[in-house]
Structure 1
Amino acid sequence: MLESSTPPLAALDGYRNVTDLLVARAAAAPGHVAFEVEDPSTGSWRPITTRGFEDEVRALAKGFMAQGIQAGDPIAIMAPTRYEWAVADLAAWFAGAVVVPIYETSSPSQVNAIVADAGVRLAIGGTAEHTALLQEALAKTNAVTLGAWTMDAETTGTLADLVAGGVGVTDEELEARRTTATQDDPATIVYTSGTTGEPKGVVLTHRNFLGQVLNIAAAYSEIVNEDGNTVIFLPLAHVLARGLQLICLASGMRIAHLSDPSTVVATLDTLRPTFLVVVPRVLQKIQAAAAGKAADKGLAGVWAKAEATAIAWGRRAERIDAGRRIARNRGLRVRHRVFDALFYRRLRTVMGGRVGYILSGGAALDTELSLFFRGIGVPVIEGYGLTETTAPLTGNLPGRIASGSVGSPLPGLTVRISDEGEVLARGLGVFSGYRNPAHDEGAFVDGFFRTGDLGRLDEQGRLILEGRLKDVIVTSNGKTIVPTRWESAVEANPLVSHAVMVGEGKPYLSALLVLDPEQARAWAAAEGTSIPLAAPSDIRAVNDPALRAHLQRAVDAANALVARSEQVRRFSVVFADLDDRGLVTPTMKLKRNVVLDRAAVTVEDLYL
């Protein structure tokens, strides 16, 4: 199959722009709790109703207008994930502005470049430090700007000050401005994080957001509804988190924000979400933590059997979903019941005890990891999308999950596979072009956006990803290698944060295995050894025989999955600063070209 489409489930008639989603929801359920916001001083969570949120949005929008924001003006937001991000985002749209999100971890040069390229007129920072960076960037543009303001309530120039300045703006003036933008006007300019090449400004319209929000909400109504709640800890500067926020807001699903992902597990018992969106690494760490605790209690062998049982149970459940006849397996049922009492139930409790589904995106999800979580009673819905597709392009659906695939095109979207195997996209969520028209060159073919990803469609029209077009390696003997399958298999090991296959123009394949710092320290402590940390901005080989022997097994297992020509002959274990935004994108994707440049000496050593 070379093309797969899914018809839309929701019409956009009656919606002028994204702000109508909040207006409609506030009118339908003003007293429904839309957000839970943590009080830093007490740690307690206070509810905010849809009407209460709308009132805050309108008040801040008036403040923007009083400062001089005109329809179409860009407003930048640079802050960690928090409730005020949501208020500023919607308020900017109510004021007719275009939102320019900036990752809170962006360097000063990145902030300067985005502010200048987008023509930002006013900026909002999460902290005084963010605000200072934004103010400096605005000053360097030599344009007439309206200043940078902060979400931090203990300083001056705050959102509260903006609200106070807007009391003279009438409701009628705000409504006229709110309804200025049409579906085809820009809603946001999102700068891609750039794993390869320079960041590009992706212009997404109100139609893009409306199409995605309304259709995804319809497709996933079993999960996203007013009886559920979620915790958003992905960066709100990323379109996936913002899209999820709009879907939940429009559907009445309660939202809590966490700015520090490391606090998520400790908070789940309090918030007890019914749905979570994560990247695969989070699931790997949950599984690894459970394995570690079992090992500490001398139950490593028992845990290994529990893992195998969960995977078998998950595979059985998927076959049942697919309508296949399954023979009764009393032994598997008994083992599953025993291990549920020993392990699975406790894992579900760690996640709050109410999680019905987890959505995984941002990177490939290992098939057995997906089956494991399905087997413990928490199905993982894998999806796929890009900034240019306003987040999800494809996704598995409840009752139709196929591990190893990223699902079928979501409603209103079409996926086509080119003759070269590239995934092409068209439909409601797909953007029409970059801010800089020069970046559009080669980005589209026959009306389809070129994703740069390689994939294929199965007989049911589900997409199976097979790597990045730019990551393809051609060895000196002319073999063309797609490294994704091998890399993903090695990355299933908790110690490996990233696996990078190398070998362009070389006689054989090698690899760099980037250690996960937290897991590496835990492993070293358990082994009674120490591993030297790399210096900042350094990628340095770690020469520990025991560690290498341990990871050799992961390399051997990955090699067994691929053809002989795709197997890695030599590898080097390395440490890298995974908080370095020059090396890793805000969505935790490794910048391959930067890695190869910084680790050039180590790579060359693999071919001596």
Structure 2
Amino acid sequence: MNEPFPSPNHAGPSLNERHTPAQAPTGPHVASKNSSTPQLVDISGVQNVTDLLVNRFKQAPQHIAFEARSHGASLSAPWRQISTSEFMDEVAAAARGLIASGVQAGDRVLIMAQTQYLWAVADHAALFTGAVVVPVYDTASDEQLRAIIIDAQPAAAFAGDDVIARRLAAAATYANGSTVATWVFDYAPHSARTGDVGSMTELAALGTLVTPDELETRRVTAALDDIATIVYTSGTTGTPKGALITHRNLVGQVLNTADAYREVVKESGNTILFLPLTHVLGRALQLICVANGMRVAHLSNPKDVVQALAILQPTFLVVVPRVLEKIQAAAAASARQKKVEPLWSAAVTVAQSWGVHLENLDQHQATRAPIWLRVQRAVFDRLFYKRLRAVMGNRIEYLLSGAATLQPELARFFRGIGVPVIEGYGLTETTAPLTGGRPGSLVAGNVGRPLPGNSVRISENGEVLAQGVGVFAGYRDQAQNAAAFVDGYFRTGDLGKLHADGSLSLHGRLKHVIVTSTGYTVSPEAWEQAVEAHPLVAHATLVGTDRPYLTALLVLDQEATAAWFKSLDMPVPSAVTTADVAVCNDVQLTAELAHAVEAANASVSPSQRVQYWRNISIGEDATDRFVTPTMKLKRQALVAELTSVVDELYR
């Protein structure tokens, strides 16, 4: 490695530390299969991430950058429009307050809050002081929070509300024996707060004596190779790790990605952010929008998205596949209720066929669509597709799906109704997207070519390796870096394949591979994704390591399953409405899901077929234990919780 990385006990990178992507000792030979895209934007003239906002402010100070609503206001209430100039004023005020409170360049500033406008203010304010931002999921357990505080040693913190502020105080006291100065995302002072907790108004008032020159000096202190943020991975397979992401990583990804997607990222566009801003994808998208004038609105509750679409009418939206599945499932449920389910099924098939036709056009493998397809598509557009687009706001030009695998049929369906889906792929360690489909060359099931400034290589065992401007500087724990890199490439842990055009398709996780006691090696994702296509199944996980055959746990979509029982005029089993974890043995439900299991079994080889399964309901109180904030299943945690249930499947 070019620079030593701090150990967990290290207080963190000093201002003068410079980081380049970690280089592990030369490991196994890497195969020659690779794909690269040259950098489109020269970032050498950029000082650090804060230049993105400063430059935008100079270009268009009065352009509307954000839309925000008052705390507790309904979605239909007027949204406040915030110009780049107003945003800059709030950022500068908060940054001066942090400086006055004693935050030094290189200190860590923790943010623990739901997705909202003030998250953006706090993030930029901390960076303006030269500090390192440490985002924490508001759903993090007390144990995780304490571990992050012990590791990061924050000098200050922002909390989404008073409940989170109290949790931060308790965790800091446990970790260090003292609290951390905390600022709550609230403008009004609160009489019940202690001396260590204040409002955003009080923070701004604290900094009134800090001059603009002092703030500017601090803003330009950090350089591109300094650490901008420490992001702790969400931990689907183990303990979260602190990833060191530099200003170069963020600036390089933001400017190059925006340049590669000019059709999407534009001043006339707008988006709704509902992914956790703790997640690097949501945060990177926010920076892209700030830098390029694309208007942003925030939603803290993903359940509000559908209602908000008609109100805010975004032109672009980043979603996880589960959101698209729910939109399609809601349309199917409406068709059942109106007794037109056969017609809806035909409409789905036609939309998918139209999506295939558009893919063929992109690849110059087709010309004009058959007359029967054009006629049916026009009829179903009037009956269904037009209404679905209206539900989505009528202005969406593109969707970006990330964080999990999207079923090709679902991608083709949405493209077929007139809402094309860009599939992308990336990790925390690649600073959001590493690859992405491009408008004009979208292929369902394909996550596209490397983004500008990045390279992908496939190892001899099929693992996807990454190198480039987005690849992080390494983990805080130096011991974790040796296994994370090979020949200068980051090991993603994902299995993939490169195509002739340099695009990538994924085939599962290396750590998820199952080896049965009979010697079969199985990648479970294909079977799992096939079952998850059923609207009642939110997640599926195969089980079978060191076992004689495969079994599965099917995690129910509680809302859809409850609605299904009601549509049959049957009482909803208590297991389906549980707030915790429960097994649902209902005969009717098992018979319904047997069709999905049979279809999934038919789609894979005999050695990959499931013999037995159980239907599992995960309630609201247990969701954080078994599902990540980006809606991915923590399969190891679930299997461990249900050991006795799994054991029964082998008796």
Q: 3-state DSSP class of the match of 2:255?
A: helix
Q: Indicate which of 31, 48, 65 corresponds to 1:17.
A: 48
* Alignment of structure 1 residues 35-114 onto 2, 5 Å: 35-39=66-70, 40-41=72-73, 43-114=77-148
* Alignment of structure 1 residues 125-524 onto 2, 5 Å: 125-142=159-176, 146-156=180-190, 157-326=198-367, 328-524=369-565
1:140, distance to aligned residue in structure 2 (A): 2.9
Matched, 1:540 2:582: yes
Q: 3-state DSSP class of the match of 1:140?
A: helix
Name the residue aligned to 2:641: 598
1:459, distance to aligned residue in structure 2 (A): 1.5
In structure 2, give the amino acid aligned to 1:546: Q
1:534, distance to aligned residue in structure 2 (A): 6.5
Distance 2:344 2:189 in 1: 51
* Alignment of structure 1 residues 117-128 onto 2, 5 Å: 117-128=151-162
1:472, distance to aligned residue in structure 2 (A): 0.4
Contact 1:475 1:508 in 2 (8 A): yes
Contact 1:62 1:166 in 2 (8 A): yes
1:143, distance to aligned residue in structure 2 (A): 7.0
Q: Indicate which of 556, 581, 598 corresponds to 2:598.
A: 556
1:86, distance to aligned residue in structure 2 (A): 0.2
Contact 1:111 1:137 in 2 (8 A): yes
Distance 1:200 1:63 in 2: 30
Q: What's the CA shift string for 1:166-203, capped at 9, x where partnerless?
A: 00000110000000000000000000010112110001
Q: More displaced, 561-570 or 332-341?
A: 561-570
1:146, distance to aligned residue in structure 2 (A): 4.8
Contact 2:357 2:369 in 1 (8 A): no
The verdict on how the C-alpha distance between 1:165 and 1:8 changes in structure 2, with shifts beyond 3 A counting, is same
Q: 3-state DSSP class of the match of 2:278?
A: coil
The verdict on how the C-alpha distance between 1:328 and 1:498 changes in structure 2, with shifts beyond 3 A counting, is closer
Name the residue aligned to 1:27: 58
1:152, distance to aligned residue in structure 2 (A): 2.3
Q: Percent identity?
A: 54
Contact 2:626 2:637 in 1 (8 A): yes
Extract unaligned runs of 5+ from structure 2: 1-31, 191-197
Contact 1:68 1:146 in 2 (8 A): no
Distance 1:59 1:152 in 2: 15
Q: What's the CA shift string for 1:250-295, capped at 9, x where partnerless?
A: 0110000111111111111111000000000000000000011111
Contact 1:231 1:258 in 2 (8 A): yes
Q: 3-state DSSP class of the match of 2:222?
A: coil
Extract unaligned runs of 5+ from structure 1: none
Distance 1:240 1:248 in 2: 12
Contact 1:60 1:166 in 2 (8 A): yes
Contact 2:351 2:377 in 1 (8 A): yes
Name the residue aligned to 1:580: 623
Contact 1:67 1:146 in 2 (8 A): no
In structure 1, give the amino acid aligned to 2:123: D
The verdict on how the C-alpha distance between 1:363 and 1:41 changes in structure 2, with shifts beyond 3 A counting, is closer
Name the residue aligned to 1:566: 608
Q: 3-state DSSP class of the match of 1:190?
A: strand
Distance 1:369 1:557 in 2: 17
Contact 1:4 1:461 in 2 (8 A): yes
Distance 2:601 2:180 in 1: 57
Q: More displaced, 401-410 or 579-588?
A: 579-588
1:506, distance to aligned residue in structure 2 (A): 1.4
Q: More displaced, 578-587 or 439-448?
A: 578-587
Distance 2:450 2:51 in 1: 26
Q: More displaced, 536-545 or 587-596?
A: 536-545
Contact 2:549 2:610 in 1 (8 A): yes
Q: More displaced, 530-539 or 270-279?
A: 530-539
Contact 2:63 2:293 in 1 (8 A): yes
1:137, distance to aligned residue in structure 2 (A): 2.2
In structure 2, give the amino acid aligned to 1:554: A
In structure 2, give the amino acid aligned to 1:427: G
Distance 2:625 2:302 in 1: 20
Q: Which has the higher contact order (CA 8 A, sep 6+)?
A: 2
Contact 1:121 1:144 in 2 (8 A): no
1:139, distance to aligned residue in structure 2 (A): 2.4
Q: What's the CA shift string for 1:145-171, capped at 9, x where partnerless?
A: 651121123443111101000000001
**Normalized against structure 2, the TM-score is what?**
0.92
1:327, distance to aligned residue in structure 2 (A): 5.5
Distance 1:129 1:288 in 2: 35
The verdict on how the C-alpha distance between 1:535 and 1:33 changes in structure 2, with shifts beyond 3 A counting, is closer
Q: What's the CA shift string for 1:391-424, capped at 9, x where partnerless?
A: 1011001111010111111111001111111111
**Normalized against structure 1, the TM-score is what?**
0.98
Q: CA RMSD in A?
A: 1.4
Q: What's the CA shift string for 1:360-390, capped at 9, x where partnerless?
A: 0010000000000000000000101000000
Contact 1:240 1:392 in 2 (8 A): yes
